[in-house]
Amino acid sequence: MFEISLFGRGGQGIVTAASVIADAALHDGRYPQKMPVYGAARRGDTVKAFVRVDTEPVLLRAPILTPDCVMICDASIPLHDAGRGLRASGVLVLNDAGIPDVAARAGVRTFCCVDANAVSREVFGPLPIPLTGIIMVGALLRAVSVIGEASVRAVLGRYVSRDMLEKNLRALHEGFTRARLESNEKAESGYLFAPAAWDDADLLPYQELSPGPVFTPETLVDLKTGSWRSKRPRIDAARCRACGRCRPICPEGVVWEDNEEMVIDYDYCKGCGICARECPCEAISMVEEQ
Ligand code: SF4
Ligand code: SF4
């Protein structure tokens, strides 16, 4: 059995990438299993997905704690978190946009990296959140033999719209050809970082759980959800024509007009990037949180 953990941010196509890997394995005559895990289920938040591939039916229903391969599709995701439990004899596939982690090369047998943000810009154009998932699948194909490139190309059309298929095929190809592969024969046993503990004994049946709190509107005001954000919208006042479009389309209702200037309440802006995408003047850009 080969186990892959994928990490990225909402909007990067992580769950789609996991589906493509699993479907390609099925196309190759293997038995896959795919599990997505959504955090706060919003653009920009951490998304994980897990894929198992075997030559026998996969009956295991446990989380993947010691993967053979970890794929990190966003450079801002900490390696010490995503890399927990990765076998030293395994494969690390990394979007190294701007922050190559040299230490990781010493810790795993196979290290594969690609600047997926740059490829995303070239293939899909400027986006609030780079579409890195399928590019990273291309890099994965360089590093492992558990799925074949022909199978990925064969199934890709099931997961992207017809008008986006050509770009996605190009993204896959660029991820494959630009990936840099290194191997480290010294890495053999153990893990890149210690695996997370999982103990069923820690889980109580629901009858034994304490009653939960009641959330009133005041509680939600206290919960500054803006602290979850990984990118923040920045309005360029010189470009803004105060058309007001960003105000009604913000799903959090945190944009308003003040003295003919658009203002964002960063305490509650979740950094989804919808305002930046919809602004007709390209007056809003998404910048990394410091
Ligand atoms: S959508 Fe763009 S141009 Fe219109 S008000 Fe918002 S920032 Fe200004
Ligand atoms: S202002 Fe609203 S639409 Fe823009 S990033 Fe924040 S939450 Fe999203």
Can you spell out the DSSP letters for 121-147?
HHHH-S-SS---HHHHHHHHHHH--SS
Q: Is 275 in the pocket of ligand 2 (CB under 6 A)?
A: yes
Indicate which residue's Cα is closest to atom 8 of ligand 2: 272
Ligand nearest to the CA of 257: 1
pLDDT in the model for residue 132 = 96
Q: Measured between alpha carbons, how far is 201 from 247 in angstroms, rounded to an integer?
A: 49
Ligand nearest to the CA of 237: 1
Q: Measured between alpha carbons, how far is 238 from 241 in angstroms, rounded to an integer?
A: 8
Indicate which residue's Cα is closest to atom 1 of ligand 1: 279
pLDDT in the model for residue 67 = 95
pLDDT in the model for residue 193 = 84
Indicate which residue's Cα is closest to atom 6 of ligand 1: 246
What is residue 287's three-state secondary structure?
strand
pLDDT in the model for residue 205 = 67
Considering the entire predicted model, what is its pTM?
0.68
Alpha carbon distances (Å) from 243 to 68, 120, 127, 256, 272? 51, 30, 21, 11, 20
pLDDT in the model for residue 274 = 93
Kindly give the confidence (pLDDT) of every residue in the chain, 290 residues in length, as a single tens digit, with 9 standing for 90 and above. Answer: 999 999 999 889 999 999 999 999 999 999 999 998 876 656 667 889 999 999 999 988 788 999 999 999 998 888 888 989 999 899 999 998 865 555 566 688 898 999 999 999 999 998 888 999 999 999 999 999 999 999 999 999 999 999 999 999 999 999 999 999 988 877 778 888 888 876 555 666 667 767 666 656 566 667 788 888 889 999 999 999 999 999 999 998 899 998 889 999 999 999 999 999 999 999 999 998 87
Indicate which residue's Cα is closest to atom 3 of ligand 2: 250
CA of 274 to the centre of ligand 2 (A): 6
CA of 289 to the centre of ligand 1 (A): 21
Q: Measured between alpha carbons, how far is 82 from 73 in angstroms, rounded to an integer?
A: 11
pLDDT in the model for residue 75 = 86
The atom number, within ligand 1, closest to the CA of 275 reads 1
The atom number, within ligand 1, closest to the CA of 247 reads 6
Q: Which of 127, 263, 270 to mutate to test the pocket of ligand 2 (most atoms within 8 A of CB)?
A: 270
Q: Is 235 in the pocket of ligand 2 (CB under 6 A)?
A: no
| The pair of three-digit structure tokens given for residue 211, joined into one six-digit string | 């009653």
Q: Which of 279, 282, 285, 286 to mutate to test the pocket of ligand 1 (most atoms within 8 A of CB)?
A: 279
> Which amino acid belongs to residue 17?
A
Indicate which residue's Cα is closest to atom 7 of ligand 2: 269
pLDDT in the model for residue 184 = 82
Indicate which residue's Cα is closest to atom 2 of ligand 1: 279
